[in-house]
């Protein structure tokens, strides 16, 4: 089974390669650093959201509040930050708000004993409502100086494919660091393995002395913090804080997570898969432009990919090992 899941990841990589090749054949310029940087830049925020959502989904439940958490944390931080606030403190505050909102999610799920989907649907609306009511709804186009500087600090700058330059923001390092941290958490800590246990069978997990509420709190706290970080990175990269940035984009992230082989029923998923799912979706979007397909089709393409991803999962889980029983040739039947 593990090998088959790895196959799903291989398949994503293969799909990306095919797509890249197909577009590059028509437009040789497409194959180059510019596309790589474009796709990575477009994926940075999505990867963080996807990694957080992946954690929640693995623990058993579909989180739809991550974008609300992300934008509320980041927008409130930027709105109330002084113009000369340091980037580190802005990032830390947004992350901390996200963590707090994640804990509220966990509290609702644990206390109300409701499904994660219902709980986060509710909190998501509350978070967005609270943002517009108490924080504000106007676009902030002047960010603290430190964020503006950070937004134009690039890790690598190269010559553009056709003209100008192309660059990759230094924040990609933060994204990579978070992905590695979450991967290590899932792989090397008892709490991380417990997340899988809870997602597999919460009842059995609690009998194995795993404190299910504690694991849920941990998962939502991490997911919330990562969403808060994603929100502030998004604002930093775009250079403006628009509270409506993410509205209605939840499905893109969920689609990426499902494509990445994360079982929607819980208990199965990897950071690598979630990241690959996001990269694939970004690449699809990036490919539509040179192909002359209007970007409005991007959503349809994501939907089609999602169906493909789910079909893949169901065929994988349907394929079971059959152990042969028949071996010897027919022995003589002794009748009474």
Contacts with other proteins, residue ranges (CB under 8 A): 1-2, 187-194, 196-197, 199-201, 203-211, 263, 266-268, 320-328, 330-331, 333-336
For the chain, the residue count is: 336
CB of 1 to other proteins, least distance (A): 6
Nearest residue (CB) to other proteins, 138 versus 203: 203
Nearest residue (CB) to other proteins, 58 versus 227: 58
| Cα-trace Rg, the chain | 22
Rounded distance, CA 102 to CA 114, Å? 15
CB of 270 to other proteins, least distance (A): 12
Rounded distance, CA 280 to CA 23, Å? 14
71 and 193 in contact (C-beta within 8 Å)? no
Nearest residue (CB) to other proteins, 170 versus 212: 212
CB of 312 to other proteins, least distance (A): 18
CB of 90 to other proteins, least distance (A): 31
Nearest residue (CB) to other proteins, 193 versus 249: 193
45 and 174 in contact (C-beta within 8 Å)? no
CB of 14 to other proteins, least distance (A): 25
Query: What values do phi and psi take at 201, rounded to 5?
Result: -160, 100
> What contacts 80, CB < 8 A, 6 or more positions away?
none
Nearest residue (CB) to other proteins, 201 versus 242: 201
CB of 327 to other proteins, least distance (A): 5
Distances (CA, A) of 144 to 43, 68, 82, 232, 279: 24, 22, 7, 12, 30
104 and 123 in contact (C-beta within 8 Å)? yes
Nearest residue (CB) to other proteins, 24 versus 206: 206
172 and 154 in contact (C-beta within 8 Å)? no
CB of 330 to other proteins, least distance (A): 6
Output DSSP code: residue 204: H
Nearest residue (CB) to other proteins, 157 versus 317: 317
Nearest residue (CB) to other proteins, 46 versus 199: 199
CB of 224 to other proteins, least distance (A): 21
Nearest residue (CB) to other proteins, 92 versus 316: 316
Match 């100086």 to its residue by tokens: 145
The answer for 144, left when phi > 0, alpha when psi is -120 to 50, beta otherwise, is beta
CB of 323 to other proteins, least distance (A): 8
Tokens standing for residue 231: 């929100």
Helix (H) or strand (E) holding 157: strand 154-159
Distance spanning both ends of the chain, measured CA to CA? 46
Strand, coil or helix: 166: strand
Distances (CA, A) of 147 to 77, 143, 240, 243, 309: 12, 6, 10, 17, 37
């Amino acid at each position: 089974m593990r090998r088959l899941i790895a196959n799903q990841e291989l398949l994503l990589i293969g799909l990306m390669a095919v797509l890249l090749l197909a577009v590059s054949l028509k437009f040789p310029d497409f194959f180059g650093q510019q596309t790589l940087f474009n796709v990575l830049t477009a994926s940075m925020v999505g990867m963080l959201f996807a990694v957080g959502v992946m954690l929640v989904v693995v623990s058993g439940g579909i989180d739809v509040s991550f974008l609300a958490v992300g934008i509320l944390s980041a927008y409130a931080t930027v709105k109330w930050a002084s113009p000369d606030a340091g980037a580190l403190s802005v990032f830390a505050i947004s992350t901390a708000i996200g963590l707090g909102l994640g804990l509220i999610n966990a509290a609702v799920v644990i206390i109300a004993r409701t499904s994660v989907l219902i709980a986060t649907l509710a909190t998501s609306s509350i978070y967005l409502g609270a943002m517009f009511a108490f924080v504000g709804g106007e676009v902030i186009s002047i960010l603290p100086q430190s964020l503006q500087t950070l937004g134009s600090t690039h890790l690598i700058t190269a010559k553009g494919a056709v003209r100008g330059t192309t660059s990759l923001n230094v924040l990609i390092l933060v994204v990579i660091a978070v992905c590695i941290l979450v991967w290590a958490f899932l792989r090397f800590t008892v709490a991380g393995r417990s997340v899988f246990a809870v997602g597999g069978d919460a009842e059995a997990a609690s009998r194995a002395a795993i404190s299910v509420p504690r694991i849920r709190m941990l998962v939502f706290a991490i997911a919330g913090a990562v969403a808060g970080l994603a929100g502030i990175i998004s604002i930093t990269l775009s250079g403006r804080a628009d509270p409506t940035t993410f509205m209605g984009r939840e499905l893109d992230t969920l689609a990426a997570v499902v494509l990445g082989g994360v079982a929607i029923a819980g208990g199965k998923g990897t950071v690598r898969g979630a990241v690959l799912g996001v990269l694939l979706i970004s690449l699809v979007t990036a490919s539509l432009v040179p192909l002359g397909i209007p970007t409005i089709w991007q959503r349809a393409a994501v939907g089609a990919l999602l169906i493909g991803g789910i079909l893949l999962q169901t065929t994988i889980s349907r394929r079971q090992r059959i152990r042969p029983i028949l071996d010897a040739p027919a022995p003589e039947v002794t009748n009474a």
